[in-house]
Amino acid sequence: MYYQTKLPNKVKLITVPLKGVKTITILVMVGTGSKYENRNNNGVSHFLEHMFFKGTQKRPDTMAISGELDSMGAEFNAFTDKECTGYWVKVDSAKKEEAVEIVSDMLMNSKFSQEEIDREKGVIIEEKNMYKNNPMMKIDDVFEECLYGDTPAGWNIVGTGKNIRNFKRKDFLNYFNSQYGAENTVICFCGNISPQESEKIAKKYFKDFQKAKPKNKEKVVEDQKKPNIKLDYKDVDQINLSLGVRAYPIDHPDEKVVKMISTILGGSMSSRLFIQLRERNGLAYYVRNSSVFYTDSGYLTTEAGVPKNKLDQSIKIILEEYQKIRDEEVGEEELQRNKDLIKGRTMIQLESSDRVATWYARQGIFRKDLSDWKEFIKSINKITVNDIKRVSEDIFINKGLNLALIGPHKKNEEFKGKLKLL
């Protein structure tokens, strides 16, 4: 059961009571992220997320905030995505009101002191370096740059080094006042709490959340005419690759079908690409498939780390599996096995209040209507063999292919003839 209402200032409140748990997750999600930036402030969404932990009028520094949360035994963190930013605390339900007060204080009364900003620049530069030096993490960014090019959708969430070093207090205030508003904010309380208590606490601490009218983001234009290739040079023995296709945005009628196709291809240790790349040919340790959905675009991709002398073979195997799922019907037994896989993993995820909170908060930000896990599973059960083939025929096309590589390659030309579905 979930309960949805709006506070008087239009903040959306979602309450998900869970029986038999002694904790609560408090998640505040705002519908803004790096896609809402421009060249001059790219990285400000992520940097601002850090700054909410750096002190308020009541709690003057990081130690005051984190120390108080730690003294409750709380887990807490935040994240920035391309279209949303979230702040969460998971705590003993006896401490829920105190935790909500701290989160509201951070989001409504942060000082954004220039001294803390200057200090945090070094932290974020090192975070950027961490991603840069970890190809398994960085390949996602390279692939999205391959897809979306020099647009906000293709830019790195952490931002450019130049921007990070140049940010001033006014940059954060301008972005905060523009993009953090009651009407694009969702609060989700999940765990040991009643709807009545939830609404009472939310009204008490978020009634004065500002009523900004956020600026919209630059719309993604998908007009790909031929395969795209993006190379990120790094002198390594293992090449990290991401080979995928454009798909559909959130709430598209075939969104769940794309998720199913991705699961069949590379969503488990018994999936087609895991078996072919790792078990049959010994080409990779990690193999994974992802289906990603934004408000105005989406994609499916396969990622793997492969030997540099076996790159061509790896690309060939991935393309063959794309062709196979496009041209041959998936068997009913295989389809049912993957339905059961998705359903089982969904149940595992929903045993944790923080995962449940994320489930509903993301829907509150991105979807027209909320749905619970029963409705989700019902939609998965409805997927047919014909659906898989129909959607595969639509997305696995030559002009929609995109290849991103991190490795010792500098010339796109050597891959152009290899990106082809028969």
Quick check: is 31 in a domain?
yes
Same domain, 201 and 321: no
109 within domain boundaries: yes
Q: How many domains are contained in the chain?
A: 2
Residue at 274: amino acid letter: F
Q: How far apart (Å, rounded) are the C-alpha atoms in residues 42 and 39?
A: 5
Residue 271 forms part of a structural domain: yes
- The string of pLDDT tens digits covering residues 300-335 is 999 999 999 999 999 999 999 999 999 999 999 999
Residues 135 and 18 in one domain: yes
Distance CA 383, CA 244 (A): 22
Query: What was the pLDDT predicted at 416?
Result: 82
Contact 287/277 with Cβ under 8 angstroms?
yes
Cβ–Cβ under 8 Å, residues 305 and 138: no
Q: Are residues 283 and 411 in the same domain?
A: yes
Q: At 397, which CATH number?
A: 3.30.830.10
pLDDT, residue 137, reads: 95
**Residue at a domain's end among 206, 239, 267:** 206
Residues 410, 313, single domain; the answer is: yes
Whether 342 and 378 have beta carbons less than 8 Å apart is answered as: no
pLDDT at 417: 87
For 159, list phi and psi in degrees, rounded to 5: 95, 180
Q: In order along the chain (422 residues), what is the average pLDDT of each group of 10 residues?
A: 96 96 97 98 98 97 98 98 98 98 98 97 97 96 98 98 98 97 97 98 97 92 94 96 98 98 98 98 97 98 97 98 98 98 95 95 96 95 98 97 97 91 88
If asked whether residues 196 and 248 sit together in one domain, one would say: no
Is residue 215 included in any domain, yes or no? no
| 190 plus 65 within the same structural domain | yes
Signed CA dihedral, 366, 188, 48, 105: sign only: positive
Distance, CA of 39 to CA of 218 (rounded, Å): 12
Which tokens belong to 193? Answer: 């709490």
Q: Look at residue 227 in the predicted model and tell me its pLDDT.
A: 96
Go through the chain and tell me how many residues it has.
422
Q: Are residues 259 and 385 in the same domain?
A: yes
- Tell me the residue range of the domain where 307 lies: 228-416
What pLDDT digit, counting tens, does each position of 342-382 carry?
999 999 998 899 999 999 999 999 999 999 999 999 999 99
Taking Cα atoms as reference points, which of 368, 376, 369 lies closest to residue 350?
Answer: 376
Is 218 inside any structural domain? Answer: no
Whether 17 and 194 have beta carbons less than 8 Å apart is answered as yes
Q: Output the CA angle 90-65-350, nearest 5 degrees.
A: 10
* Rounded-to-integer distance, Cα 185 and Cα 31, Å: 6
Residue 64 in domain: yes
Q: Enumerate helices (H) and strands (E) in the chain, giving the number of each.
A: 16, 11
The answer to the question of residue 111 being in a domain is yes
| 211 found inside a domain | no
Query: pLDDT value at position 422?
Result: 81
Looking at the structure, tell me whether residues 201 and 234 fall in a common domain: no
Both 377 and 238 in a single domain?
yes
Quick check: 391 and 368 in contact, CB under 8 A? Answer: no
**Spatial separation of the C-alpha atoms in residues 182 and 198, rounded to whole Å:** 17
Tell whether 154 and 276 lie within a shared domain.
Answer: no
Provide the 3-class DSSP secondary structure of residue 337: helix
**Do both 201 and 240 map to the same domain?**
no
Collapsed DSSP state (helix, strand, coil) of residue 340: helix
**Residues 6 or more apart whose Cβ sits within 8 Å of residue 365:** 29, 30, 31, 83, 84, 184, 186
* The last residue of a domain, from among 206, 236, 268: 206
Residues 239 and 187 in one domain: no
